[in-house]
Amino acid sequence: MPLLSLVIWLPILGGLAVLAASRHTTDANIRWMALAVSAVTFLVSLPLFFSFDSSTHEMQFVEMAAWIPTFNINYHLGVDGISMPLILLTAFSTIFVVAAGWEVIKERVAQYMAAFLIMEGMMIGVFAALDSVLFYIFWEAMLIPMFIVIGIWGGPRRVYATIKFFLYTFFGSVFLLIALIYLYFQADKSFAILDFHALKIGMEAQILIFLAFLIAFAVKVPMWPVHTWLPDAHVEAPTGGSVILAAIMLKLGAYGFVRFIMPIVPDASFELDWLIILMSLVAIVYIAFVALVQEDMKKLIAYSSIAHMGFVTLGFFMVFTIFEKTGSIQGAALGVEGALIQMVSHGFISGAMFLCVGVMYDRMHSRNISDYGGVTNTMPLFAAFMLFFAMANAGLPGTSGFVGEFMVILSAFQANFWYAFLAALTLIFGAAYTLWMIKRVLFGEIKNEKVAQLKDLNVREAAILGTLAAAVLILGLWPAPLIDVMHATVNNLLEHVVVSKL
């Protein structure tokens, strides 16, 4: 059974069906329909995990069909231990996005739901694509529903945010396309990503390709200093948009590093790894300070996302320093696997944090920290959840937020004491900005009349946050099953990247 095609096209066709049905049925039915599509997609994606063969690094669930034979472009899909967990994360998160928009979205319900379902299919397509043209098409196409979501259901400055988001990402994509076309000609007219991996490329070309890819992917992660679109996009996006943005879209950029940059241009990566490490460490330290002084909760969480994604890129690029220092890759897999876990975990935690802000925004129509205070007095259940996710965001052991950071710090220590030193500062700063916000929002006397009127979570909201809390806890207490699927792929990647392609 073409499982990957199913998880890509089921939500896309489902989204179109939702659009088509909107003329004939009520909004309530539309919501249930969208929820059903997202739930079925998630169920269909589960066999990817349970039938996954974790003993091999080869691509699995491969599908291959000629698409545009003139240019040797194929409909080529497959997953390995890096992409498979991200597909599951995408399918999982979309359910919450549909559920989160249940009551708030009152206008154009069908379009809203359809946008997210179609986006889901396309994002899964990005993770599953093994043909770079197919990848590129999904990569660009998924932005369209996102622009629409922010542009239509967004806040007052949504147009500025959308244009900024568009220009930033489009600026990056152009370089991606140029690099892919160059590689196509180098690889004897093949667009297959795996062919690119095997390709021998000269150093100068590698450097240029590296920079082109870096611009494309760094914007998406986003890495410092090309991060400023993210806070604006988050602030203006509706809750669902923020969740997808944080949980999945940022991961696409990071995914590009391990699918394209490291395996295709390993020598340039070796040469320029200091640049990535520098950008990552700046993201972790500099951004933490910036996050501290934010007055808008969504901005604060957006900045915290940037800092957390710094761990992802840092973890990926430890291998070169370690190899240079010790001549072996021992200790590097810890960094890469930690980074991958961090991606999944950040998906849960940042998604949950944005949902928490959404819960408050729906009631108070404000994201300003100063408008809140003493929320726990009127919403104790909600406060318990938010505090839990905040602790996870601060990397408390026992939650998923700890696992990735711990592994990356361990790996960074093997590369260089000071990398670990700077990265570990997040223990202090992450707690400072997250818990200071918690203090001002949740604790204290009831600040004003509006807070006094707040109603605690309803069943739907409690179910959403409860499920995410369970995911955060399970991944934190027992990450082994998820990490086990990555070993073969990650080891193969690391062995590959330390061999010169000159």
Q: Does 274 bind another protein (CB under 8 A)?
A: no
CB of 114 to another protein, least distance (A): 31
Should residue 432 be labelled a site residue for another protein when binding is judged by CB under 8 A? yes
User: Of the listed pieces 89-97, 108-116, 222-230, 353-361, which binds another protein according to CB under 8 A?
Assistant: 222-230
Count CA within 13 A, CB hemisphere, residue 69. Answer: 2
| Closer of 16 and 282 to another protein (Cβ) | 282
Q: Which of residues 448-487 bind another protein (CB under 8 A)?
A: 477-480, 483-484, 487
Indicate the residue among 126 and 340 with the shorter CB distance to another protein.
340
* Closest approach of another protein to the CB of residue 317, in Å: 16
Of 347 and 479, which has the nearer Cβ to another protein?
Answer: 479
Task: Please give the Cα distance from 4 to 96 (Å, whole number).
Answer: 21
Closer CB to another protein, 390 or 464, in the complex: 390
Minimum separation from the CB atom of position 342 to another protein (A):
13
66 binds another protein (CB under 8 A): no
Closest CB 200 distance from another protein, rounded Å:
29
Distance CA 264, CA 216 (A): 15
Our CB check for another protein shows the closer of 54 and 242 to be 54
The residue behind tokens 């590689």 is: 183
Binding part of the chain for another protein, among 48-56, 112-120, 357-365, 407-415 by CB under 8 A, reads: 407-415
- Residue 72 — left, alpha, or beta (φ > 0 → left; ψ -120 to 50 → alpha)? left
Q: How many CA atoms lie within 13 A of 85 on its CB side?
A: 27
| 376: contact with another protein by CB under 8 A | yes
| HSE of 433, CA atoms in CB hemisphere, 13 A | 31
Output the smallest distance, CB 59 to another protein, in A: 22
Q: Is 311 in the site for another protein (CB under 8 A)?
A: no
* Cα angle 273, 275, 278; round to 5: 110
Q: Closest distance between another protein and the C-beta of residue 374, in Å?
A: 7
Binding segment for another protein (CB under 8 A), chosen from 42-50, 225-233, 353-361, 455-463, is 225-233
Cβ-based nearer residue to another protein, 305 or 411 = 411
The answer to whether residues 46 and 92 touch, using CB atoms and an 8 Å cutoff, is no
Single out the segment in contact with another protein by CB under 8 A; choices: 71-79, 269-277, 348-356, 432-440. Answer: 432-440
Told to check if 294 binds another protein by CB under 8 A, we report yes
Nearer to another protein, 38 or 489 (CB): 489
Q: In the structure encoding, which two tokens stand for residue 41, read together?
A: 């997609």
CA distance 329 to 316: 12
CB of 330 to another protein, least distance (A): 7
Q: Is 54 in the site for another protein (CB under 8 A)?
A: no
Q: Which stretch binds another protein (CB under 8 A): 45-53, 56-64, 112-120, 424-432?
A: 424-432
Between the alpha carbon of residue 74 and those of residues 68, 87, 156, 190, 442, the distances in Å are 7, 21, 42, 9, 53
**Residue 193, C-beta contacts closer than 8 angstroms, at least 6 positions apart:** 129, 130, 131, 132, 135, 259, 260
Residue 233 found at the interface with another protein (CB under 8 A): no
Distance of CA 23 to CAs 30, 32, 334, Å? 10, 15, 52
Identity of the residue numbered 310? G
Give me the half-sphere count of Cα atoms (radius 13 Å) on the Cβ side of residue 486.
22
Q: Is 410 in the site for another protein (CB under 8 A)?
A: yes
Q: Rank residues 71 and 478 by Cβ distance to another protein and give the closer one.
A: 478
Q: Give yes or no for a contact between 366 and 235, defined as CB atoms under 8 angstroms apart.
A: no
Asked if residue 397 binds another protein (CB under 8 A), the reply is yes
Question: Residue 79 belongs to what H/E stretch?
Answer: strand 73-79
At 411, list the tokens: 């790996």
Q: Are 255 and 248 in contact (CB under 8 A)?
A: no
Q: Which residues have a Cβ under 8 Å from the Cβ of 243 and sit 6 or more positions away?
A: 93, 96, 97, 100, 351, 354, 355
Q: Which of 436, 447, 456, 488 binds another protein (CB under 8 A)?
A: 436
Do the beta carbons of residue 396 and residue 430 sit within 8 Å? Answer: no
Measure the CA–CA gap between 429 and 435, rounded to whole angstroms: 10
Residues that bind another protein (CB under 8 A): 164, 167-168, 225, 228-229, 286, 289-294, 330-334, 337-338, 374, 376-377, 391, 396-398, 402-403, 406-407, 409-414, 417-418, 420-421, 424-425, 427-428, 431-432, 435-436, 439, 442-445, 477-480, 483-484, 487
